[in-house]
Structure 1
């Protein structure tokens, strides 16, 4: 069957979409067409439709987006990691080889959900780093509705399962407001995590707006997420089999931590011993065979700092190969779990009328493992220890933990040599908005009702194109008003014109990119780009120029030979930046201090009183403790000398701080990426009422190992312990797990106790003071 937007069924669907949208949004009291008599027997009962009804035959819509995968990882795009489910979707759908994301997660998700550019919806970078400026504050405007808000008005049920990461940090407390949580942006139900990553075995999960602490019973998080997605669909399909659904499925895979059951890792044992250089060569050959890249394509040089595999020591080769075995197992496991979802739709006879959009990665492969990789979680990247610690010693430490890599006892990410390999055939990585390696990702569109056989599409496109594409294919439209907010137009360019015409001329002519000062602009096959080193002035940036139509993986900088074209594109970037609120550029010599970030009710006060029951408040939403002086006061009452437990904890087994009572003594422990330091009172905590105090006095320091002040413990104003600290001790900003009062939920910061280690005395409240 030929696909045409002018065919009769699509005209009628579009008209129905417009009508139902208007009725759904503007729904005055409807006249009753029956007859109301003085008694029921004298009345004529006529049903009234109060809720929006989807157009007849409207498809189910499924967005599946993975995290940090890279263009050349999955076998669907020539990679050496086996992804048979993705392969099947691609072989029976369309592969888009010129599709782009924004180079980092939150902006890509905001753009996907809204069909707009990421600065247009105030998400310039990861939501945790939003700044109080137009275009940058993290608050997606309600005038720019999400796909879920649109589809719900068109009679769909809407479900979000997995990673969210576009709710502003100040709103991520139990006080809300919840209007920018998933259920506030059009989703009937949400189950997943709110941050950029979470542990795959002890995740920080929410259901709708309620924090939950589920026992996964040893299951992997991706398995649990698929179970939840299937349960939502099963419930709806049982109650209303003719009603379509929209599923936004975004697992944490394959963002760090790379964790998966050992059986998936063992599947790849020894398969990457030849290293990342051989991997790139093999994958490029496979990509040519699949017709995904030009036949004359060559590999770009290694990224800066990446060594030739053959130059590595035996220990480096051993641990680096292990990192990628774990990663490959993680990706294959994800493919298997997505297959369970697809098979469920097939078994319930829903797949033929389901439009599946599979985006294999929300940006390029991750650079967050540095040159060595890491095993103790993302805080090794955030606090800079990944770059400041002795490289040889890091390799020895990783080797000592070899058997743990990939298990729940580790928080790994591979080294950047493997990240570039996973990005084959491109150069550079996630966060690099100037590069195809940072912004080009595989896109697969699968829709049996319209796409009868597989194919490849090469038209230029962007993540903001997905929602316009889906709405056009489904014959739906955007209500003029959603929830009382007049709607702005979409900014993405629909790809529906490519479904039945591989040779159709591209329609997406211009696209800007910008993350933390790195930036580029595309126009009709040409691209001007500039990398930016954070903390340096923009005047030092050097622009490059590429003709992508002839040099798709950016190996030949034409800036010197074609200054006129470069100047034209620089002026175009300036116009686009002004149009979409890109300015001011972030990432120069101005530090992103807490004072200029968006701040919430807990981190904007000099004193905050917290009560037991408060759990897993994200670090950026909680009182800010990192690299500054603060005091913790616990108002307690002990009924016996055996009372013990956590008073306040922040973080988990890979990074954090905990303040607790144990065996009669007051204790504080810092977990600096698995390295533990502790302070214990010299006196016993008395039975009865007491004020237990922890005090950190911070002195600004440059290096993590530099002296940075002192910390002390007090019982009823009597100092009972004190020691000097380093900057590492004062860097209290764990990412995966949040702040708890009266317990340590999730994983334990300290191995001295087992979570949740609830305080067994009476804890009236905790007060955190910034003096």
Structure 2
């Protein structure tokens, strides 16, 4: 596998970042036990340990966390998607059926890494939407150390491979700071992606803090991640076979885009033609047979908007079945790749003393496919086109791309009917912090040295429990001070008490949940919850009450029957919310404008100068371009009429914007979820020095199709093209791929060129101007 890095000033900054981002272990100078003499012959030499040493026999520790899977997807928890490796880990370990996450990715990861509640470590929702308030700003405090920071002080090597998504957006620039990147939070090495998702064939990857442009040579990203994890372990085990390691392995699967080699999709051809209603019935029966749910369990109603499968048209059934075939192939492929890692540990005789924590999903199955599903990437969800475009037209468009669904040419996510099926037997989905469907996920603990027989555990637990559990099982100490920061106590409740006692009374008595105003409070089997519609006042919210001991999948609202219990739990939520900095609640009629988000050096000033070599800066970390007026000025020198290439681009083949030179003309292209609009100069570019300018004047608009101002091209100060734009054109917020200067790294925004389409003239710099700042 080949990797190339960007050159020039950018790489120098990044290399400096590697040094500044890594903290040293606590390793004070020790007194010398030997006796120096005037000569070596007269000296008594005694070996001196200079670094922390793990306790004898300390286990290797692996966290495997998947993404957006759903409780009823994998065969390990009764699903119809074959996951033999997960089955084996579960059959030889412990299945936890009452384990919970936060309902969305960044908060779950922050809680897992720190053993604390997500607001307590300032990660209230996806890190990209952090707000500049205590409990909400996205900056995990150093006083609340990560499991990697703890384990490194206990003598472990520490590696993070895969999805990260807990570094604040303002810090995701070539200037850092890098202290909240993985290598700044206790990991010796990191290889993976920083955002919530990435393309599985054209990923945006970093190694430590250096941006790498990977040549995957046709490999799938999950395969590459497992290769990297094995290489880290191989090097460590060769150099220090008695030293334990910690691996945080978090592939992008099965978050969108659902992409996998066709052979894995073909494995499931026709397997789901009976639809999501039959799937739910079959999975519930399997879950009962495995002893995972009560024998008298029933299915809740379909989620709002989900149609009975039999009411769908032939075309809907065809494309919807394809979506789930692709998803199933993606999940099975992930299981296979995790199996390669497990087999490597077995082959190198490390598996028996390896504690594996397998979390099959960081939240419930995803609602980001809407009612129809999508094929052009997550921006269809982000910009709202998924919900505003004509449904029948969307189905027709998806059908026209049927053969490409799941391939590198598509960016799919399934419709919410399949999301609920993957969540069997629960109702509601990812982001729904009020529901078991949003927060209940499969947990497996596998440790052959300690767990000799498979079993099921039903004690209530939360993702903040995992790190305390692991530390207790491994017999490791939490330092009072890490890197000079006095440490706060962990907030999760260890599950170690359940390992050898399936009937042990539960110890996790109280737990709050909150994402974007949706919220819940659990206490000893009772749960009060409220679903909140974003953009509406909290005063209209209606609380519900459930007894999970008798109604585990929330079908019987007891609020009217037991108002005293509801009031008690509402008061408890209020207490917990103040304690953990949940307040103020977000998601009402107050709009989250860019002005109140945590902002970085590039999106908070009126003018930003960018130089060639800067590449793949995430859109929330780069100068903000969406739904506002801005100017791009390119200071260039053209020596040949054939000079061409990209001046500035952001995004990729599914969504983005690009400003470039081609065939002597100046061009700008918008890619709105695969729909392309362009503007071309009416005259040729001159040779010599020039200022090439793009200007967008935005007029606020309501619908994506509404007129929203104009865009213009200038050569020096002469206007050479202009057109009216829509709101869709002005919604420039691509997620998977970032901003590049002098190239279009990754996939091409426009089919008019092939990436990277480096600019062949001389580009001195780009200036982005925001007139309103």
- Please tell me the TM-score bracket, short chain as reference: over 0.9
Q: Deviations over 1:51-106 (max 9, x none)?
A: 00000000000000000000000000000000000000000000000000000000
Instruction: Determine if the alignment matches structure 1 residue 105 to structure 2 residue 105.
Output: yes
Give the deviation of 1:25 after TM superposition. 6.4
| Residue correspondence of structure 1 range 216-235 to structure 2 within 5 A | 216-235=216-235
Three-state SS of the structure 2 residue aligned to 1:327 is helix
**Kindly tell me: are residues 121 and 146 of structure 1, through their superposed partners in 2, closer, same or farther at Cα, counting changes over 3 Å?**
same
> Does the 8 A contact of 2:27 with 2:51 survive in 1?
no
Q: Is the 8 A contact 2:703 2:727 kept in 1?
A: yes
For residues 464-479 of structure 1, the aligned pairs below 5 Å read 464-479=464-479
Query: 2:25–2:152: 8 Å Cα contact kept in structure 1?
Result: no
Q: Give the whole-Å Cα distance in 2 for the aligned partners of 1:136 and 1:42.
A: 63
Q: Which runs of 5+ in 1 are unaligned?
A: 1-23
Query: Per-residue CA shift, 1:575-633, capped at 9, x if unaligned?
Result: 00000000000000011110000000000111000000000000000000000000000
Partner of 2:594, secondary structure, is coil
Structure 2 distance, partners of 1:740, 1:31, is: 52
Cα distance per residue 1:371-418 (max 9 Å; x no partner) = 000000000000000000000000000000000000000000000000
1:723 matched to 2:723: yes
How far is 1:475 from its partner?
0.2
Pairwise CA distance, 1:41: 2.6
Q: What's 1:596 paired with?
A: 596
Instruction: State the match for 1:432 in structure 2.
Output: 432
2:122 match? 122
Once residues 524 and 268 of structure 1 are traced to their aligned partners in structure 2, the CA distance between those partners, rounded to angstroms, is 41
Aligned to 1:686: 686
CA distance in 2, matches of 1:47, 1:87: 47
Q: Which residue of 2 aligns with 1:404?
A: 404
Q: Which residue of 2 aligns with 1:334?
A: 334
Distance of 2:140 and 2:258 partners within structure 1: 30
Alignment of 1:676 with 2:676, yes or no, is yes
**Partner residue in 1 for 2:166:** 166
* 2:457 is the counterpart of 1:457: yes
Equivalences for residues 84-95 of structure 1 within 5 A = 84-95=84-95
1:252-331 equivalences in 2 (<5 Å): 252-331=252-331
Q: How far off is 1:552 after superposition?
A: 0.2
Contact 2:26–2:482 (CA under 8 A) maintained in structure 1: no
Aligned to 2:12: none
- Other-structure match for 1:132: 132
Moved more, 494-503 or 44-53: 44-53
Task: State how far apart, in whole Å, the 1-side matches of 2:185 and 2:570 are.
Answer: 36
Contact kept, 8 Å, 1:25 with 1:481, in 2: the verdict is no
- The answer to whether the Cα contact below 8 Å between 2:70 and 2:363 also exists between their aligned partners in 1 is yes
DSSP 3-state at the match of 2:514: strand
Partner residue, 2:175: 175
Rounded to whole Å, the distance in 2 between the matches of 1:385 and 1:92 is 46
Q: Deviations over 1:536-572 (max 9, x none)?
A: 0000000000000000000000000100000000000
Deviation at 1:331, TM superposition (A): 0.1
Give the RMSD, CA atoms, in angstroms: 0.7
Counterpart of 1:347 in structure 2 is: 347
SS in 2 for 1:608: strand
Cα distance in structure 2, aligned partners of 1:193 and 1:716: 39
Q: Please state how far the C-alpha of 1:47 moved relative to its aligned partner.
A: 1.8
Query: Aligned-pair distance for 1:31?
Result: 1.6
Contact 2:27-2:52 within 8 A present in 1 as well: no
Q: Per-residue CA shift, 1:658-693, capped at 9, x if unaligned?
A: 000000000000000000000000111111000000
Q: Does 2:633 align with 1:633?
A: yes
Query: Aligned equivalents of 1:263 and 1:218: distance in 2?
Result: 14
- SS of corresponding position for 2:214: coil
Q: Match of 2:557?
A: 557
Shift of residue 453 of structure 1?
Answer: 1.0
Matched, 1:568 2:582: no
- SS of residue in 2 equivalent to 1:283: helix
In structure 2, what is the Cα distance between the partners aligned to 1:515 and 1:706?
A: 31
TM-score, normalised via structure 1 length: 0.97
Is 1:741 the counterpart of 2:741 in the alignment? yes
**1:489-545 deviation per Cα after TM superposition (whole angstroms, max 9, x unaligned):** 000000000001110000000000000000000000000000000000000000000
**Contact 1:67–1:361 (Cα < 8 Å) also in 2:** yes
Structure 2 CA distance, aligned partners of 1:451 and 1:125?
35
Structure 2 partner of 1:517: 517
Q: 1:518–1:530: 8 Å Cα contact kept in structure 2?
A: yes
Conserved? CA contact 1:712–1:723, under 8 Å: yes
For the 8 Å contact 2:647–2:763, the answer to whether it is kept is yes
Q: Which runs of 5+ in 2 are unaligned?
A: 1-23
Asked if 2 retains the 8 angstrom alpha-carbon contact of 1:25 and 1:479, the reply is no
Distance in 1, Cα, partners of 2:748 & 2:720: 25
Partner SS state of residue 56, structure 1: coil
C-alpha distance in structure 2 between counterparts of 1:371 and 1:30, whole Å: 64
Aligned twin of 1:12 = none
Q: Distance in 1 between matches of 2:117 and 2:103?
A: 13
- Cα displacement (A) at 1:26: 5.5
Runs of 4+ aligned structure 1 residues displaced above 6 Å come to: none
Distance 1:453 1:407 in 2: 41
Does the 8 A contact of 1:167 with 1:180 survive in 2? Answer: yes
Q: Supply the distance in 1 between the matched residues of 2:346 and 2:134 (Cα, whole angstroms).
A: 45
Could you tell me how far apart the structure 2 residues matched to 1:54 and 1:489 are? 22
Number of the residue aligned with 2:616: 616
Which residue is equivalent to 2:96? 96
Provide Cα deviations, 1:273-327, integer angstroms capped at 9, x if missing partner. 0000000000000000000000000000000000000000000000000000000
CA drift at 1:27 = 4.1
Deviation at 1:34, TM superposition (A): 1.6
1:212 maps to 212
* C-alpha contact (below 8 Å) 2:376/2:412 kept by paired residues: yes
* Matches of 1:424 and 1:38, distance apart in 2: 76
Alignment map for 1:175-194 (pairs within 5 Å):
175-194=175-194
Distance 1:195 1:82 in 2: 28
Structure 2: how far apart are the matches of 1:39 and 1:689?
71
For 2:157, the equivalent position in structure 1 comes to 157
Question: What is the match of residue 19 of structure 1?
Answer: none
Deviations 1:736-761 (A, max 9, x none): 00000000000000000000000000
Provide the C-alpha distance between the structure 1 equivalents of 2:164 and 2:28, rounded to a whole number of angstroms: 34
Contact kept? 2:26, 2:483, Cα under 8 Å: no
Q: How far apart, in 2, do the equivalents of 1:623 and 1:277 lie?
A: 46
- Partners in 1 of 2:29 and 2:655 — Cα distance? 56
